[in-house]
Homo-oligomer: A and B are copies of this chain.
Amino acid sequence: MNDRSTDPVADWWRTSIIDMEPGRIAFRGLPVEDLIGALSFPQMIWHLVMGTPLDAARARLFEAALVAAVDHGPQAPSIAAARMAATCGVGLNNAIATGVNMLGDVHGGAGEQAVALYRDIAERHEGGSPLNEATRDGLIAFRAAHGRFIPGFGHRFHKPVDPRAPRLLALVDQAAAEGAVAGTYAAIGREIDAALACEKGKPVPMNIDGATAVIYAELGCPAPLARGFFCLSRSVGILAHSWEQMEQGGRNKGPTPPGHRWTYDGPSGTS
């Protein structure tokens, strides 16, 4: 048995998340048997990752964000890759990992970037700028750093409206009306929406990433966790599709039907 306080090997891995002794598991100080049946799954996620309490009203918002992002169909590369993996003779966990591994900066990062953008605008606003000016300046600063594309707004497929966003925003409004959250970030999101519409001369409405980012910002979570929580949410769809594909069968299923091969555009062969 190690004396933990003076064991450099034990100290090599430090955590505030979990403590264990034989017969005892505690998550951030609370025994697991007191949490089972008492915390909802979203509350447990928040407890483990954030380490702060999440009351029922705020938990409903968090839950809505988790529910909304579970899947976007088999043309999303993460889902497609997981389905292909499911035909390659690997375990279900490997198929899930294949999909989650692909939720990178481009596929899974928009929510994270949107939270960061919202926060920057909020700070400008708290610093004294009116909201419309803070938004304008925030957008300019974001584009200077990252290019024209504003994460969380517009959708290449769901035109004119991403059906998830207004529903999520309505829940934020309701929670704000009840005093559960401040509503600051919903206002910022709508201000961006308005600014982009004005700029483009047509709606560039908030999408799922922009709307879940409003929730994550309202709940006070760091920007990178918007991606982290999105990974948990999308893992559900990745699991559902991996399992459906395993049930359908297939061996080494490629992206397109075999009759449509790829296009070769390299040098002509000589033998």
B-binding residues in A (CB < 8 A): 1-2, 4-5, 7-20, 22-37, 39-42, 44-45, 48-49, 51, 60, 63-64, 66-68, 70-78, 80-81, 83-85, 87-94, 96-98, 100-109, 157-164, 166-168, 171, 224-225, 227-229, 231-232, 235-237, 239-244, 246, 248, 251-271
Contact = CB atoms under 8 A, between A and B. Distances in A.
A158 B23 CA distance: 5
A80 B35 CA distance: 24
Given A49-B243, A77-B254, A263 B20 contact: no
A221 B18 CA distance: 30
Contacts of A15: 73-74, 241, 244, 262-266
A1 B259 contact: yes
A75 B256 contact: yes
B37 A167 contact: yes
Interface centre among A19, A23, A261 (most CB of B within 10 A): A261
A15 B13 CA distance: 23
A16 B235 contact: no
25 contacts: A9-B256, A13-B80, A13-B263, A14-B263, A18-B73, A20-B157, A24-B163, A26-B271, A30-B269, A33-B163, A33-B167, A36-B164, A37-B64, A40-B42, A41-B41, A41-B66, A73-B261, A85-B104, A90-B94, A90-B105, A91-B91, A92-B227, A94-B104, A97-B98, A232-B236
